[in-house]
Amino acid sequence: MNLELSKDYIIALEDALERRDLSAYEELLNEAHPADLAEILDKIDEDYASFFYEAIADHLGAEVLMELDEDLRAKLLEDYTGEEIALELIDNLDSDDAADLINELDISQRREVLENIEDQKQAMDIAGLLVYPEGTAGALMATEMIKVKDHWMVLECVREMRKQAEEVEQVHAIYVVNEDNKLLGTLSLKKLLTTSTRTPISEVYSLKVRSVEVNTEAEEVTNLMQKYDLVVMPVVDPLGHLVGRITIDDVVDFIRDEAKEDYNLASGLTDEVEAGDTIWLITRARLPWLLIGLFGGLLAASVIGRYEGDIGMVPQMAFFIPLIAAMGGNVGVQSSAIIVQGLASQSLGDNSTLSRLLKELGVALVNGLILSLLVIGASLFLGYSMKLALTVSVALFSVIVVAALIGTFVPLALDKYKIDPALATGPFITTLNDIIGLFLYFQIGRLILGL
């Protein structure tokens, strides 16, 4: 079996469609994973995508749809009425995907969809999931899972599992609850296979079960599942009732998305852009950051402008402008990157902001000392005057220290006010440090060069 989407496959599919050879066509579709079909749809021309989607809609529509880019999904959904979404799509989705899909619709259509879901319990489950804010365990979880009661026998359990297993795609865990639906523990499949069918479940289940509450942050769920190597994590309400479960595949997607977002912010890219997007989309994602850079550059120009006379007298002062600006930027990004990652992995520990600043100060002092000694040697070697070399060196030291403190403080402050600290990395902190650095440089120049 082919692991990658082959060109041959697409050609064969197109061919079958053109020849209207339904049996060959169905066979090809049966071979393909919804994720493969979604990849085809994402890659081909939009108009042709609608046509292609229509052809597979009856078969795998719902699953393919959930694998698509949000934009394309929205476009394809335009052809559905609320009733069709409920009957043809929602019915074939797990509750978490169904809730995600409904969340992307506009308010009026949401209601229409929910009212048209035939299975009342399913409709209630999905409506329940819509309540949880994005980024919480509740928003990540699905309600499909295998639950057994603690007073059952193993035989009853197997029977019930067979019934429940029909709507659960893959059995990762069996949860044991009491009459009130309170989560008590888990029953391993291994135990189930190795125990006589007449054993009471209460005798064989494990009390060791980690769970999270519905309002736990997604970031924390991710960290816990990674730390304890969990494939599935049960979710309980504040009273301990089992309400859902989060599977590792959703967590993997979350980790990737978060990493991408941080990386994009550090690189000066807003929105999710991919190499395959149109020139205009790519431009739009980059322009805001470049505008910050431009504005910062103009500000820097006016800072330097205040020292126009000094530059007129000692033009060599201008030579080191890029050095000062670049080092301030680099140091600031390094400091904030450490903090951003520490915040994300919750590994900063109980250290207060103050002790964090002190540590960065220590690192900055060491780095600053090494680099300013190097720069004084290099500039003397390159033939600059002692006074200029001293100016550059002292300025560099100050810039490194100040940039490190700003780079540490800004993400911590943003995080305190619930703003994504990753915003602090990238063009923003670089620009800020540029300006402060230049100001320090020229002020120190005035002192040392006696301008």
Taking the C-alpha atoms of residue 304 and residue 271, their distance in angstroms, rounded to an integer, is: 34
Q: Which residue type, as a one-letter code, is found at position 264?
A: N
Q: Which stretch binds its own copies (CB under 8 A): 47-55, 77-85, 127-135, 355-363?
A: 355-363
Nearer to its own copies, 34 or 110 (CB): 34
- Please name which of 264, 239, 203, 272 lies closest in space to residue 420, comparing C-alpha atoms: 264
For residues 154 and 204, is the Cβ–Cβ distance under 8 A? Answer: yes
Nearer to its own copies, 43 or 416 (CB): 43
Site string for its own copies, 112-151 (x = CB under 8 A): ----------------------------------------
Q: DSSP characters for 268-287? A: T--S---TTS-HHHHHHHHH
Least distance from its own copies to the Cβ atom of residue 8, Å: 14
Nearer to its own copies, 275 or 354 (CB): 275
Least distance from its own copies to the Cβ atom of residue 362, Å: 4
Size of the site for its own copies (CB under 8 A): 120
For residues 416 and 354, is the Cβ–Cβ distance under 8 A? Answer: no
Nearer to its own copies, 12 or 363 (CB): 363
Residue 6 is a binding residue for its own copies (CB under 8 A)? no
Q: Which stretch binds its own copies (CB under 8 A): 14-22, 47-55, 69-77, 271-279?
A: 271-279
Residues numbered 294-353 forming contacts with its own copies, rule: CB under 8 A? 294, 296-298, 300-302, 304-305, 308, 311-312, 315-327, 329-331, 333-334, 336-339, 341-342, 347-349, 351
Residue 83 CB contacts under 8 Å (≥ 6 apart), including other chains = 112, 116
Taking the C-alpha atoms of residue 293 and residue 295, their distance in angstroms, rounded to an integer, is: 5
For residues 193 and 166, is the Cβ–Cβ distance under 8 A? Answer: no
Q: What is the dihedral of CA 202, 204, 207, 212, to 10 degrees?
A: -90
Least distance from its own copies to the Cβ atom of residue 26, Å: 16
Q: Which residue type, as a one-letter code, is found at position 380?
A: L
Least distance from its own copies to the Cβ atom of residue 118, Å: 24
Residue 319 carries which DSSP code?
G
Site string for its own copies, 211-250 (x = CB under 8 A): -x-----------xxxxxxxx----------------xx-
Residues numbered 26-45 forming contacts with its own copies, rule: CB under 8 A? 33, 35, 39, 43
Taking the C-alpha atoms of residue 229 and residue 210, their distance in angstroms, rounded to an integer, is: 11
- Of the candidates 113, 434, 436, 444, which one interacts with its own copies according to CB under 8 A? 434
Least distance from its own copies to the Cβ atom of residue 112, Å: 29
Nearer to its own copies, 113 or 154 (CB): 154
Residues numbered 52-81 forming contacts with its own copies, rule: CB under 8 A? none
* Beta bridge mates, 232: 247
How do beta strands 232-236 and 183-187 pair?
Answer: unpaired
Site string for its own copies, 162-201 (x = CB under 8 A): x--x--x-xxx---------------xxx--xx-------
- Please name which of 69, 105, 65 lies closest in space to residue 281, comparing C-alpha atoms: 69
* Beta bridge mates, 60: none
Taking the C-alpha atoms of residue 60 and residue 275, their distance in angstroms, rounded to an integer, is: 28
Taking the C-alpha atoms of residue 30 and residue 56, their distance in angstroms, rounded to an integer, is: 11
Residue 362 is a binding residue for its own copies (CB under 8 A)? yes
Q: Which stretch binds its own copies (CB under 8 A): 44-52, 81-89, 117-125, 287-295?
A: 287-295
Least distance from its own copies to the Cβ atom of residue 81, Å: 29
For residues 175 and 146, is the Cβ–Cβ distance under 8 A? Answer: yes
CA distances to 50, 156, 176, 191, 254 from 161, in Å: 39, 8, 12, 14, 30
Residue 89 is a binding residue for its own copies (CB under 8 A)? no
Q: Where are the alpha helices (DSSP H) in 278-423?
A: 279-305, 308-313, 321-344, 353-381, 386-416
* Beta bridge mates, 200: 153
Residue 101 is a binding residue for its own copies (CB under 8 A)? no
Residue 450 is a binding residue for its own copies (CB under 8 A)? no
Nearer to its own copies, 28 or 168 (CB): 168
Taking the C-alpha atoms of residue 252 and residue 254, their distance in angstroms, rounded to an integer, is: 5
For residues 184 and 178, is the Cβ–Cβ distance under 8 A? Answer: yes
Nearer to its own copies, 85 or 317 (CB): 317
Residues numbered 365-384 forming contacts with its own copies, rule: CB under 8 A? 366-367, 370-371, 374-375, 378-379, 382
